[in-house]
Amino acid sequence: MYLEIVSPEATLFAGEVDSVTVPGVNGEFQMLQNHAPVVSLLQEGKVKVQGDVTIEEGFEDKFSKGPNGETVLEISSGTVEMKDNKVIVLAD
């Protein structure tokens, strides 16, 4: 599935991934290929991305590696939309 992570400053990541886990306001949840359409508010927490993730130059300092090899981005709030195997995370 295709993932875009967008902040007010720039698009932090765009590319194919295996899964995305986000901190929803009602709890953390994961999206995989062919997930049902969803729109949700996000709270402070970690966006975790599984797959072959290559971060563009200049944004490496915003991401870290998690204990299970996932790529992690700390956010303070945001929204997520999943539709037709495309996930867009608008993150603050």
- What domains does the chain contain, in order, with CATH numbers? 2-91 (2.60.15.10)
In degrees, rounded to 5, the angle at the alpha carbon of residue 65 between the alpha carbons of residues 18 and 88 is 45
Spans in the chain with pLDDT lower than 50 = none
Give pLDDT, residue 32. 97
Query: Given this model, what pLDDT does residue 75 score?
Result: 97
d(CA 56, CA 69): 18
51 vs 3, 44, 92, CA distance in Å?
11, 23, 23
